[in-house]
Chains A and B, each alone.
Chain A
């Protein structure tokens, strides 16, 4: 109990710091010389280039500073939009009539039978998506996997006594939803959110790694891709390691945060009973 209470402020501070840092990164990048090519190609880390340079003389540290908000930004925005969409559809199928919800669920069945990774690859090869197109692509191929889970959760919550009483007592649907249902399903939502962030971050990195996103869009994946030609030389140390480490760190952070948040909410819920 005490442990949980202690975790909370630390977590909040961490989240605030993390968000602030992310917001500040573009500002920092603005004052940097930019991810410009130079004649200083494949330079090892030095005072001038702290993390060295790549094969066309771009500074790795600057690259990381640009890639980090890009990758995380795409991941967070895509995850948020995916979740909002699936919540919307989830509520709809949980509350709509049998025919209508049946229709939507069949449609989702069709979508689910298409392997989304192939779809993403196909569209990416043709469009070589930039940031916005990438988010749209990730949302479009991610939302339907959650709908069934959310429908079940919403159905369970909507049939609980507190919701019924509130409903009989004349409270609006919006009130029931925001006060009774959503808080109760929040652990599931957070879980899904974290899962989506990880999926989107990995997918962005993966597409960048395959070299099928917009060339100008610097992501961790595209930086890893740049390093592939030099795995047999010493340059892999400063080309491959930094983006890979940051990617692993981020995924690990997401996982840890998700677990802690879940634990906090679960125990918190038990306390309030």
Chain B
């Protein structure tokens, strides 16, 4: 007999438990369970050194790991694990008082020693999303008080480092020399509003349980699942009550979602699609960068690939609503093919008898590299550039190959989607440093100096003034041409009220499912 009666009974008895693990539906649809449908799939294990190197991987991790400073539902900085903090007048030390009675998910108390450990551990094992280089060390003053000593003043200490740095449990992480290989359940023990309860890499599923001991209020949900599902399937599942939230609803499904009776929140994502010039090679010349900007018809691009669901971006780095960009009017580089051609001629390029652009008698072939999500944009941009006589070769690269191409400078143009939100203390690294999708731009000493200064000044007012200057210079120098600012949308039902934050979540993630909306 292939199946004994007893086994059959056992299997049947297991079903109610398997229901949640196997399908997002479950049998009874309890009100305090949240199911999130994410198209992206696997983001790695939700722990600081294990998640994928993208914002969403960081976001999932933030549900489990708390930080010293947190954001409230409007994005304002509020106390996280820290109850209070006091920055010294020279900006070189910060005294932090932790909340009382905060505990790790395993029940052991979270103390100042854990924070001191985290700072030392991250110094030894740098964490991609938070740079701690400016922190000299942290010293515990008592069980719930500590001092963070800085090497130099850090303007982004509160809104950057302390907001983003996940605090690790010393008793679990100490002794692990390579955190990337520390993948057991203890690596996922944090102090955040949700506990890790399961992960299926192949299916890209995550399961969380509400942390009933949470110090900032009760988690809204006993259980939370994130499942991989395309937008159309997710909308259908939402109609039958299997899914509650689609954090990234494609722009062309918004009307459909509304007509199905779901609530949709939208916001300018400030995750801008930009055209990066190779500033180390062909496009060192500012005139050429300006020429290409004039040759691109951004409104037509938006109408074609986004059916209008985006706005032409600010040509400076910061986008509208950013607290950092100031309010100087910036050049819009309105579509002007004539101007583009004049500037290209001025830069030393000439046209042959077939009207193709040449440099030293050789026809110029520009290589535009990007990855799959932006391939439609790449086709339209290359067509627009070809209409002024430039020959463009589009290469859609796999992510690692794209990274390599940008690092090695083996490209002329690249289309990238980048967040412009979050504390700008790291912006110097983005402009001319080691960020793989940065600008690799060393053409303006003034810009570099401004960025270095703003990262150190203690006065917020002064910092904003410096960044506003940088913003204007960025639009003039144009290391990248900011093309458009897409609208992001989140569809949801009555269980949850997602909300986009003006300067993004933590490191600048354009999501509406910040952990503050998951806590009551």
Enumerate chain A interface residues (CB-CB to B < 8 A): 36-39, 41, 55-57, 125-126, 128, 211, 214-216, 231-232
Contacts and interface: CB of A to CB of B under 8 A. Distances in A.
A113 B452 CA distance: 57
B304 A38 contact: yes
A55 B376 contact: yes
Contacts of B305: 55-56
Nearest to A125: B398
Contacts of B395: 128, 214
Contacts of B379: 37, 56, 215-216
Given A56-B305, A214-B396, 11 more contacts: A37-B304, A37-B379, A37-B380, A39-B300, A41-B304, A56-B380, A125-B398, A128-B395, A128-B396, A215-B375, A215-B396
B397 A56 contact: no
B303 interface: yes
B304 A57 contact: yes
B394 interface: yes
A69 to B, nearest CB: 20
Nearest to B300: A39
A231 B232 contact: yes
B233 to A, nearest CB: 9
Nearest to B305: A56
The list of the 5 closest CB pairs from A to B, nearest first, reads A232-B232, A37-B380, A56-B376, A215-B394, A39-B303
A219 B460 CA distance: 56
Contact of A126 (B303, B394, B398): B398
Nearest to A55: B376
Interface string B209-234: 00000000000000000000000100
B378 interface: yes
Interface in B371-406: 372, 375-376, 378-380, 383, 393-398, 401
A128 B397 contact: yes
19 contacts: A36-B383, A38-B304, A39-B300, A41-B304, A41-B307, A55-B376, A56-B305, A56-B379, A56-B380, A125-B398, A126-B398, A128-B395, A128-B396, A211-B375, A211-B396, A214-B396, A215-B375, A215-B378, A216-B394
Interface SS of chain A: helix, strand, loop or mixed?
loop
A60 to B, nearest CB: 15
B236 to A, nearest CB: 8
Interface string B276-304: 00000000000000000000000010011
Contacts of A216: 379, 393-394
Interface hub of A37, A41, A57, A216 (most chain B Cβ within 10 A): A37
Contacts of A215: 375, 378-379, 394, 396
Interface of B: 232, 300, 303-305, 307, 372, 375-376, 378-380, 383, 393-398, 401
A55 B375 CA distance: 12
A188 B466 CA distance: 77
Nearest to B378: A215
A211 B232 contact: no
Nearest to B368: A215
B304 A39 contact: yes
A126 B379 CA distance: 20
Contacts of B397: 128
Contacts of A55: 305, 376
A57 B307 CA distance: 11
A216 B304 CA distance: 17
Contacts of A125: 398
Contacts of B398: 125-126
B214 to A, nearest CB: 39
Contacts of B372: 211
Contacts of A57: 304
A37 B383 contact: yes
A215 B396 CA distance: 7
A36 B375 CA distance: 15
Interface hub of B304, B372, B393 (most chain A Cβ within 10 A): B304
Nearest to B393: A216
A62 to B, nearest CB: 14
Contacts of B396: 128, 211, 214-215
Contacts of A37: 304, 379-380, 383
Nearest to B381: A37
A265 B173 CA distance: 75
A230 B375 CA distance: 17
B59 to A, nearest CB: 25
Nearest to B376: A56
Contacts of A36: 383
Contacts of A128: 395-397
Contacts of A211: 372, 375, 396
Nearest to A213: B396
Contacts of B303: 39
Contacts of B383: 36-37
A56 B378 CA distance: 11
Contacts of B307: 41
A211 B378 CA distance: 14
A35 to B, nearest CB: 9
Nearest to B383: A37
B401 A126 contact: yes
Contacts of A39: 300, 303-304
B187 to A, nearest CB: 31
A231 B376 CA distance: 18
A214 B401 CA distance: 14
A233 B180 CA distance: 43
B235 to A, nearest CB: 8
A128 B367 CA distance: 14
A214 B397 CA distance: 10
A38 B383 CA distance: 10
Nearest to A40: B304
Nearest to B394: A215
A38 B384 CA distance: 11
B400 to A, nearest CB: 9
A38 B307 CA distance: 11
A125 B380 CA distance: 22
Nearest to B382: A216
B431 to A, nearest CB: 29
Contacts of B304: 37-39, 41, 56-57
Nearest to B232: A232
A43 to B, nearest CB: 12
